[in-house]
Amino acid sequence: MEVLGRLLALLVVLVLGAGLRASGFLGASRTSRLNAVAYYLALPALIFVSTYDQAIGRLLSIELVAGLLVVLLVTASLAWIVHRNRDSRGRQSVAIVQSYHSNLGYLGLPLVAATFDAEVTAIASVVLGVITLVQLPLSLILLSTLNGASAAIADELRGLATNPVLLSLLAGLSVGSLGVTVPTNAATGLDVLGSIALPLALLCVGASLQIDVPTMDFGATGAVVGLKIVCMPALAWLVFSTLSVDAPTLTATVVMFATPTAVSTYVFAAELGGDSEFASLNVFATTLVSMATLFVVISLVP
C-alpha cells in the first residue's frame, strides 16, 4: 500500500502540472525555468549525494554495462522490426526512438531515490549515466537519418561533454573513489536540494504533456507503450537475472527501464523532422500507463 500511495501522489503532482499548464500559470517561460532548476541543480545534486561515498569499483562492473547495452539495443532492434512499416518516416522514426528512450533522469532516478535505499539509488545513478551516453546519440542519429534532417546533430552530441547528469556522476564517483571527505553541511544541503528533483520534474513533465484523442493512432501508440513499459523492463529482468547480479543491481536496472518515454524525445522529434504530434501523444500515453506498471514492477523486484 505504501508503494501505491507514493505512485498515486506522483500521479497527482503530474496532473497538477498539466492543470497548471492548462490554466496558463505554467506557461512556456515558467516551465523552462522549472526545467532548468530540476536539470541543472536538483538532479545533479541527487546524483552526487547518491555516489560521493561510493567507490567506482563497487558500482560499475562489466556485467552492469553489458546488461544495459543488451537491453537497450535489443529493445531498439525490436522497435525497428515492429515499426518498420509505419505510414511515414516521421512517424516511424519517432515510434522507434520512443520505444526505448527512457525517462531515466526526470522520473527514474528520483523515483528510485524516493522508494529504495542508498545502494539501489547509487546504482541507478550509474545506470542513468551509462544509458545517457548511448541512448541520446542513438536517438539523434536515428531521427536525423530516417528523416533526412538538415539540422546538424554535432552540437547536441558535443553537449554530452557538459551534460550536468554526467558531470555530477563523474564528480560523485571521483570523490568516492579518492576517499575525499565532503563537509557535513554541504552534503546535507545537497541532499535537501536533491529531494525536490522528483516533484519538480513531475510538474515539468505534466506541463509538457499534450493529447489530442481524435488524431491518436492507437495501434502505433499501443505498440510504443507495449515495447517501452512492458517489454523493456521484462527484458531487463531476464538479462540481469541471467547475469546473476545482486539484488540492488537487479532492482535498479529493472525499475529504471520501466520508466516511460522521455519528454525530450518530443523536442528531438520537432527539431529533426519527426512527427511531433505523435511524439507528444506517446509521451502522454507511456507516462500515464507507467503509473500502473511501475506499481507492479516495484512490488515484484527484490
| Average pLDDT, integer, range 201-224 | 75
Q: What CATH code is carried by the domain that includes residue 115?
A: 1.20.1530
Alpha carbon of residue 176 to chain centroid: 24
Nearest to 275 by CA among 143, 157, 148: 143
C-alpha distances in Å from residue 67, one per residue of 16, 72, 137? 36, 9, 19
The HSE-up count of residue 101 (CA atoms within 13 Å, CB side) is 28
More confident residue, 1 or 302: 302
Q: Is the pLDDT of residue 152 over 60?
A: no
Q: Which of 14-28, 198-212, 282-296 has the highest mean pLDDT?
A: 282-296
Cβ partners under 8 Å of residue 161, min gap 6: none
Q: Given this model, what pLDDT does residue 218 score?
A: 77
% residues pLDDT > 90 (the chain): 33
- pTM exceeding the 0.75 threshold for the entire prediction: yes
End-to-end CA distance of the chain, in Å? 16
Could you give the CA distance from residue 188 to residue 111 in angstroms, rounded to a whole number?
Answer: 20
| Average pLDDT, integer, range 139-164 | 73
Q: What is the pLDDT of residues 64-109, one digit of tens each?
A: 999 999 999 999 999 999 999 887 888 999 999 999 999 998 889 8
Could you give the CA distance from residue 127 to residue 167 in angstroms, rounded to a whole number?
Answer: 14
Q: Given this model, what pLDDT does residue 236 score?
A: 97
Could you give the CA distance from residue 167 to residue 107 in angstroms, rounded to a whole number?
Answer: 19
Q: Given this model, what pLDDT does residue 211 score?
A: 62
Q: Given this model, what pLDDT does residue 68 score?
A: 97
Q: Given this model, what pLDDT does residue 302 score?
A: 85
More confident residue, 224 or 16: 224
Mean pLDDT of the chain: 85
Q: What is the pLDDT of residues 236-288, one digit of tens each?
A: 999 999 998 999 999 999 999 999 998 888 878 877 788 888 888 888 889 88
Q: What are the phi and psi torsion angles at 260 (to 5°)?
A: -75, 180
Residue 63's pLDDT band (cuts 50, 70, 90)? very high
Q: Given this model, what pLDDT does residue 241 score?
A: 95
Number of domains in the chain: 1
- Three-class SS state of 5: helix
Q: Given this model, what pLDDT does residue 67 score?
A: 97
* Domain ranges, residue 280: 2-300
Alpha carbon of residue 132 to chain centroid: 9
